[in-house]
Amino acid sequence: MTARTRHAGFTLIELVITVAIVGLLASAALPLSSMSIKREKESELRAALRDIRSAIDAYKLAAEQGRVQVEADKTGYPADLKLLYEGVEDSTSPDKVKIYFLRRLPRDPFFPDATAAPEETWGLRSYASPPDNPQPGDDVYDVHSMSNAKGLNGVPYRDW
């Protein structure tokens, strides 16, 4: 054996290199996690838009079939989003049961205020409104996100 004995452990250089490698790996993982969060919110937005638009179409179909009472000068689209989940009376039913088009109204996942009611998180377009400049009106023909951000595909969320 030698007169010099080696102590077990890491040198300062080895520790600095290890910390640098771990920091580099963590900085590479952070953008991936934020990207997956954005991708998840976009998936929620697609599903919410599909559900609401399907419910609006179902309401319009029920109005055309005479199941929902519509005034003569109205379009047959719901007056607001609440009607979709609060329900309307089925005018063809002798028991006057309600027709529900949604179990609950989904929120816009990109709306910044988490305390706002779900119906306040959506931008509304009436039937009389042009598609390139959606405006609310007497009925709800379509919904859109009010976020000004762009999706991963480069299309603004308002145009989805």
Per-residue pLDDT of the chain (160 residues; tens, 9 = 90+): 555 666 677 788 888 889 999 988 888 777 777 788 899 999 999 999 999 999 999 999 999 999 998 888 888 999 999 999 999 999 888 888 999 999 999 999 999 998 999 999 999 999 999 988 899 999 999 999 999 999 989 999 999 9
Please check whether residue 69 is in contact with residue 82, taking contact to mean a CB–CB distance below 8 angstroms: no
- Evaluated on CA atoms 136, 140, 141, 146, the torsion sign reads positive
Residue 66 exposure: Cα atoms within 13 Å on the Cβ side = 2
pTM of the model: 0.79
Q: How far is CA 58 from CA 64, 87, 96, 114, 138, in A?
A: 10, 12, 18, 28, 18
